[in-house]
Amino acid sequence: MTIKELVKVAVELNRVLGLEPPINLMLNKANLIETIKQVIQLVVADDEFSKRTTEILQEIDTGKKFNPYPEKDCAKTTLADEDRIRAGRLREQV
């Protein structure tokens, strides 16, 4: 990721989250990454970001695997869960 991409992410975070004070866009790359890591804690499921910003946030937040939609986390759904869901839908249709 480039400094230019990080600045775009910071601008989007400032806009979506309404940060006051906003992220300083003049920080160097390392400080910008650290600041973004801290700001990620403020993101909630209703916050919408561009695809590229989401990708960069995921890359930066490697420890927590940034997911702006945690309730839609498909990785935690097992095949058995999917079978139960399908079975429930089939019963609803009958």
Residue 92 has pLDDT above 50, yes or no: no
**pLDDT band at residue 87, thresholds of 50, 70 and 90?**
low
Q: Please state, in angstroms and rounded to a whole number, the distance separating the CA atoms of residues 68 and 49.
A: 8
Which of 83 and 72 is assigned the larger pLDDT? 83
Residue 10 lies in a domain: yes
**What contacts 56, CB < 8 A, 6 or more positions away?**
1, 5, 6, 9
Residue 8 lies in a domain: yes
The verdict on pTM exceeding 0.85 is no
Domain interval for residue 22 = 3-68
The amino acid that residue 38 corresponds to is Q
- Range with top average pLDDT, 27-31, 58-62, 63-67: 27-31
Residue 80 lies in a domain: no
Residue 74 lies in a domain: no
The stretch 36-49 carries a mean pLDDT of 91
When divided into structural domains, the chain yields a total of 1
Burial of residue 27 (number of CB atoms within 10 Å: 0-12, 13-18, 19+)? middle
Q: Please state, in angstroms and rounded to a whole number, the distance separating the CA atoms of residues 43 and 65.
A: 13
